[in-house]
Amino acid sequence: MQTEQIVRTFVEYFEERGHRRVTGSTLLPPSGDPVLFTTSGMHPLTPYLLGRPHPLGRRLVNVQRCLRTTDLEEVGDDTHLTVFEMLGSWSLGDYEGPQSLDWGHRLLTEGLGIDPSLLYATVFAGDEQTGPDTDSLGLLQERGVPVELTVEDNWWSNGPVGPCGPDSEIFLWSGDTPPRSTPTGDDRWVEVWNHVMMRHRRLEDGSLVPLPQRSVDTGLGLERLACLLQGKSSVFDCDVFEPWHRLVPSLWPLDEPSLRPVVDHLRSSVVVVGDGVRPSATGQGYVLRRLVRRVLTTLWRDEPSRTLGDLPDELLLHTLDHFRQDVDPGEVRQVLLDEERRFGRLMERGRQLLARPRFQGPLGDEDFHYLHDTHGLPRDLVLNLREE
Ligand code: SER
């Protein structure tokens, strides 16, 4: 099943059950938001989860692009991407968690054809502030889903303060043996769909107060589900990456551990530029800068003449089109090339500086500070240059 078809099946399933589709936001949260990028489908809906009435009603569904910098170091494994899409459904003070889990389970098994014996769920076991989520446990057991109880892993929040609550996570077995163990015991159980019972708000002092309404917020990682439904072992092998796999290796022969982050970071950079961000020394622009520079560091390790100017138009167009960004690919290419030039000049300056006698021995903190503060050379870059 292709990604587009999964999206259609998901959205229609919830529309048939009274949900209205909300247009996904860009990756840029509204000004004043403490987070740099939209990190989950619920993020743009936070005011409504806190109690403000939504103009489209109490049942919503959407597809939201998200970016998580916390996952940057994990990109390259089988399940993490920097930019990914989340399918979401919401009850804003309408139905409760068991209804959401019931629909979730039916959609996965009946709508998307997943063998029920390949599913497992985790449910909140309770802690000193909040009791166990017996309603979710009851529903999942009724549906015949095995359940593991956990504490920290089944509490969802978007930060230290704000809306939060116990969650129930549905996992799908990705192994090529029959399922074994439990989600916390075997990482071949891949989390695909999180159902959060948004009932609390955490205050600065760590205490919890009830929200004015009991809501449900669900998020399903699209590429993860697509890869499993397509019988692939990694998100990089699902259909959205097809053109990248077809075109990048012939352009830049890279081993698989290098190829994955290069593809992820380039695709993410295109989307971030498409949403209007430009490389800079702080904030969103700095995240973009890091993505592009990580790509270039890998590309130039083997062959310094490689350039982002060689990226085929098809890859830029495919990505902008997929994320419905009405942006000229030539403009995106120019942003990437400008950053490439800046980084190239910085590398050159770094090489000249590091050739000085002062930097021939082991480098101390003072050297790193000097190179960074006076010459703009970040520690990572210095370490890379020393390895050349
Ligand atoms: N907020 C939850 C998550 O991001 C469910 O949408 O996983």
Radius of gyration from C-alpha coordinates of the chain: 23
What percentage of residues in the chain have a pLDDT greater than 70?
100
Confidence at 257, pLDDT banded by 50, 70, 90:
very high
* Tokens coding 127: 């802690």
Summarize pLDDT for 175-227 with one digit per residue, the tens. Answer: 999 999 999 999 999 999 999 999 999 999 999 999 999 999 999 999 999 99
State in Å: Cα 42 to ligand 1 middle.
Answer: 6
38 lines ligand 1 (CB under 6 A): no
Tell me how far apart the alpha carbons of residues 380 and 46 are, in angstroms, rounded to a whole number: 36
**CA-CA distance, 367 to 281, in Å (whole number)?**
21
268-314 per-position pLDDT tens digit: 999 999 999 999 999 999 999 999 999 999 999 889 999 999 999 99
**Mean pLDDT for the chain?**
94
**pLDDT score for 387:** 82
Percent of the chain with pLDDT over 90: 85
Per-residue pLDDT at 212: 94
Parallel/antiparallel/unpaired status of strands 189-202 and 208-221: antiparallel
Type and span of the H or E element at 369: helix 365-375
Q: What pTM value is reported for the model? A: 0.90
88 lines ligand 1 (CB under 6 A): yes
Look at residue 253 and tell me whether its pLDDT is greater than 80.
yes
pLDDT tens figures, 352-388: 999 999 999 999 999 999 998 888 888 878 988 888 7
Confidence of residue 320 (pLDDT cuts 50, 70, 90): very high
Residue nearest to ligand 1 atom 3, measured at CA: 219
Looking at residue 136, its pLDDT comes to 98
Q: Is 196 in the pocket of ligand 1 (CB under 6 A)?
A: yes
Question: Per-residue confidence at 152, pLDDT binned at 50, 70, 90?
Answer: very high
**CB distance 41 to ligand 1 below 6 Å:** yes
Q: Which residues contact 309 (CB under 8 A, 6 or more apart)?
A: 333, 337, 340
- Nearest atom in ligand 1 to the alpha carbon of residue 219 is 6
